[in-house]
A and B are shown apart, each in its own frame.
Chain A
Amino acid sequence: MAYGPHTPADREHMLAALGMSSVDELFADIAPELRASPLRLDPPEAEQDLMARLGTLAARNRVGLASFLGAGAYRHFAPPLVDQLLLRGEWYTAYTPYQPEVSQGTLQSIYEYESLIAELTGLDVVSASHYDGAAATAEGALMTCRATGRTRVLVSRAIHPHYRETLRTYMSGAGLTVEELPVVADGPAAGTVDLAALERLLADAEGAGPVAGVLAGQPNFLGLLEPMAEIGRLAHAAGALFVAVVEPVSLGVLAPPGSYGADIAAGEGQPLGIALQYGGPYLGVLACTDALVRQIPGRLVGLTTDVDGKRAFVMTLQAREQHIRREKAASNICTNQALLALAASVWLASLGPHGLRDVAAMGAARAAELEGVLAEAGAPRLHPGPYLNEFVVRVPNAAVVHRRLLDRGVVAGLVLADALPDQPELADGLLVCATETTSRDEIELFGWALGEELAGAADPGASSGADSGAANLTGAAR
């Protein structure tokens, strides 16, 4: 066996101590009719061969393209020190700090994580992480129900579709209801929460029951900035709690949820220096006000002292958790994302407040360049309101154009007709994003290729010059 230390003599020695001659005797308690059929798997693979196989599989993914995908997962610069620290076995091969005396590294790192996210969100209580942004959002919604004793939450349609789907799954399990808040169809506020509709739903003229929580995204899934203060004010006026679903890098420049009255902030921590990895492991950020501390699920680490009066850190308020409270726990969560919380902390500590601001502002600057280039190519923005670094452009036949651009080495963002089939007003939309890692060459390539495609579409006789685009990219600074 690849990682086992036992020699044949070791095994014999252990069996002899047990008075046994075969390891099969240790499995005599499995009744014959319950014993497994033989395992049909490939033979063991030597490390060298395994590495070759994995290299081939990884190379089959086309990650060298000029990508303008965001939609809830964002490519950011991570200084090499982040991963070098993460590769220390003392971090990644430890477990939950059940013995705090030999786990102060993990415990202090979690306390620091809680403090860093508290600074970013402006909320005082931060759990030591959830599975991802969608699960954290769902847990945030469940908190509003527990805290208010109400059973109905309102979620903006302009929140990530995966989050809304996850929320529905979690809420249906608990027998709670989710209603979607419409967004404004046109005008200056197009694509953001419809405040009049929100007021109507909160007033509950239909008798659906009082609202526990209102969930809105900042920026929302379409990249737009929501009137968060106004949404919060309306929610509170109806006795509901307000959950802000935020992107943490944006909090380097955008108002923190605590400043506009959010009771809970939830979001995806992946942008804080965590690799894209085709969806995970990511980092569910969940924070709340002091008033809700007994409602927040997940681990909390607090400050204390040891018997000698030394400062120390320890898991605390565990009476909320499943291993103590079992069926009465705030959640069944046990495994968290501590290693990713560490990655986010190291990333934030490396960049500092000014570096974080620069990352967010550079994304905004690159996105503005992208907006200009795409508009010139014939793809104007679909919404007029302010955005940070992600926005929707209108491209007739978006799915076809997207496929053609892929042949030219460009991942032209997300086809909204595929991602939001239930929102026909977005059928011509491509959701595109830029960050500080988006190069000018990539933006120019996108603009040029899109211009060619749109011109080709206008002139059906023109052929699409697929290879020239890919050739162009090799010169790009990647």
Chain B
Amino acid sequence: MQRICSAVAMLLVCVCSGCASFSPITVSLPWQKQIPEPTKEQSPAVQHADFDTKVGAVHLSAPAKNANPASAVQQVAYYQPTPVAPPQRPPYCEFSPAMKRDYVLPAGNDPAVVQMYPDEYLFDGGDREHPVHYDDYSRLGLDTEDTIVEYQTHKGKQEVKKSNRVAVYAPRFAAIRSASSPIAGTSVDSLAKTEDTIHGVGLAARTVITQHKQREQLEGIRMRSRASGVETEQRQGAVDQSAFISGHTKLSNLFQDTGTKSTGQFQQSDEARIGYQIQAAAIWSRTQFPVIAIRARSAHESKRAVKPEEYIGVEDKRKTEGNLKLIKLADKKNAEPGDVITFTIKYQNIGDFDVDGIKIVDNLTPRLEYVNDSATSDRKGRLVVEDNQEGSLILTFEVDETVVGHEGGTVTFQARVR
């Protein structure tokens, strides 16, 4: 049975392969790879449909007729590596006229491209590299391009916030050159054209450790103690003391002492007095009993509840602490050397309470030159300009006014692109 099936299958295969030209249905098998006819590649006259030939002289050259690897003679004469895949047409021309495009590129700077190629942009704002921090005396971490705001809340807390980052497309190019002679081993070096781009001031500090010797010598102290031959004699003397307790009798009878002078004469006038005294003596002579006085004392507990009947005052509905938000804007998205860019820094207190002591600090990148007297502010204050030691300036806008909650202000300045 198996043999019959295999024979039938082989017969079908033979029929299909042999009668392919006759059958209207062609079956292509894997081993029947059809080689297409070689088509002659012709370079089109206009290879990029997006170009507008009416606008200007747009000319697209045709690629080489022979895109294969160069011949041996060509390699000897001029080494030209063969491109991996010679493009038939420019695959992507960003400078095609926009109206002829069948797609729309996003307007402005693409954030992903900005992040990918930051060396083509001028940045200002944000907090680059090390974040701004403080030690006891100074501010640290303020790099070029950084823009921050310092302020004080109503609780006395010092706060610092950074702004957003503004990107302006402004690539700048430079060249580096060397000239060599065909004679081996020689070189031409033009030192006069060397430009030093390092602006750091070299500080050489040398600390010499002086040798300090301290020598302490122990002086020999000798002490000698001798048992002295002093003898102390102590004699116990016998002390005899005789004490005689003398008897002392005192008899006083106050009740009988009436002070009556016993003169031997009894006068009538003394009778009453003596009688009274006798009566008194009789009273006093009665049995004297102790009189107990009892006095009860009880602790009293006092309770008092004070209930305000009326409360008069102003209720402060402010809840959130003062919080500044810093927004930086530039009037240009792309610039060339010599262009003037106007930067606008808006600060807004998004908290409820006031903030004081606002300082907006902007450390300009070396390619931005501050235009003198171009700074403005809608609140009272001053501008402090200092060198950032990197070829540009640090602008500090000090705002004198207190910014209440949900209000803000604006400062602007201009900078020229170098």
A and B physically associate: no
What is B's interface to A at a CB cutoff of 8 Å? none
